[in-house]
Chain A
Amino acid sequence: MSISPRIRVPGSAAAGEAFTIKTKIKHAMETGRRKNNEGETVPRHVIERFTCEFNGETVVDLVVDGGVSSDPFFEFDAAIDEAGEFVFKWYDDTGEVYTETKAIELA
């Protein structure tokens, strides 16, 4: 399935200086409680986990237990002290894992 990820990471950052990362994907995040127009319960289908790592170290690790809105958007701050790569992963409860990467340099 296509989640059309949109990720904003600056191209470069000064060592130790915090900057903001924004991520957004398309996903229904169905709770399994909603009824469609035919009155049928739409089955649960969610991203259960989201991780962001930089050069192998964790930035954030989010475990979705309950109601996160559809087309989930996550914004958080990071700081780096070397150039490298951010790796973003969304773990779908179907078992699929969607991965995106963004390189960043030191300013």
Chain B
Amino acid sequence: MSFSRRDALVLGVGGLAVLPFGSAAIAAPGDAEIAEFTGGAAVGEGDLAIEAPELAENGNFVQIEITAPGAEEVMLVAPENPDIVVFHLSFGPKAAGNRFKTRVRMAKTQDLVLTARAPDGTFTQVRRNVKVTAGGC
């Protein structure tokens, strides 16, 4: 069976149209992982924060501090990393202030994206661009 170029073009456009994001746009890296966390629910802005250096010289050790007031669970993704999801973090009854500081690996310059779920099931998100001189993945 041979495909004409016109057939292939029609198939390609048709393929794009059935992406599960309700639009014909190509999904960006990290979108699928975030959609899995939110179940496709709307994501708003809240008072989340990611503190990170503007420029990280060594991508093996990028110090970040996240704050997610009132959140039950958060997920950090680094869409340009080979492993896109960095971690899931739950805050329990004995946590105070929902702050977490650690060091992560970043393969290259990108936006870190933090998505949070509140106890009422709503989601918020914040992005923070970090430039990376030498990748660390």
**A residues bordering B, Cβ < 8 Å?**
18-19, 31, 33, 53-54, 57-70, 72-80
Q: Is the CB of A58 within 8 A of B92?
A: yes
Mark interface residues in B62-92 (1 if CB within 8 Å of A CB, else 0). 1001000000000000100111111111111
Report whether A18 and B97 are in contact in the complex, using a CB–CB cutoff of 8 Å.
yes
**Which of B84, B87, B97 has the most CB atoms of chain A within a 10 A radius of its CB?**
B87
Q: List 6 A-B contacts (CB under 8 A).
A: A58-B93, A58-B95, A65-B87, A66-B83, A67-B107, A67-B136
User: B19-60 CB contact bits vs A (8 Å, 1 = yes)?
Assistant: 000000000000000000000000000000000000000001
Q: Would you call the interface of chain B mostly helix, strand, loop, or mixed?
A: strand
Other than the given A57-B92, A68-B104, 8 more pairs (CB < 8 A) read: A31-B82, A33-B82, A58-B90, A65-B88, A66-B105, A67-B78, A69-B136, A79-B96
Given A74-B101, A76-B99, A78-B96, answer yes or no on A66-B87 (Cβ-Cβ < 8 Å).
yes
A53: chain B residues within 8 A (beta carbon):
92, 94
Which A residues touch B105, using CB under 8 A?
31, 66-69
Q: Which of B61, B81, B89, B136 contacts A61 (CB 8 A)?
A: B89
- Please tell me the number of chain B residues within 8 Å of chain A, measured between CB atoms: 33
B137 at the interface (CB under 8 A from A): yes
Asked if B116 is an interface residue, CB under 8 A from chain A, the answer is no
- List the A side residues contacting B137 at CB < 8 Å: 31, 33, 67
User: Is there a chain A Cβ closer than 8 Å to B130's Cβ?
Assistant: no
B106 on the A face (CB < 8 A): yes
Given A65-B87, A67-B78, A68-B87, answer yes or no on A74-B102 (Cβ-Cβ < 8 Å). Answer: yes
**Complex-state Cα separation, A73 to B63, whole angstroms:** 10
A70 closest partner in B (C-beta): B60
What is the CB-to-nearest-CB distance from A8 to chain B, in angstroms, rounded to a whole number?
A: 13
Q: Quote the shortest CB–CB distance from A63 to chain B (angstroms).
A: 4
Complex alpha-carbon distance, A79 and B94, angstroms: 6
Contacts of B85 in A (CB 8 A): 65-66
Contact B61 A69 (CB under 8 A): yes
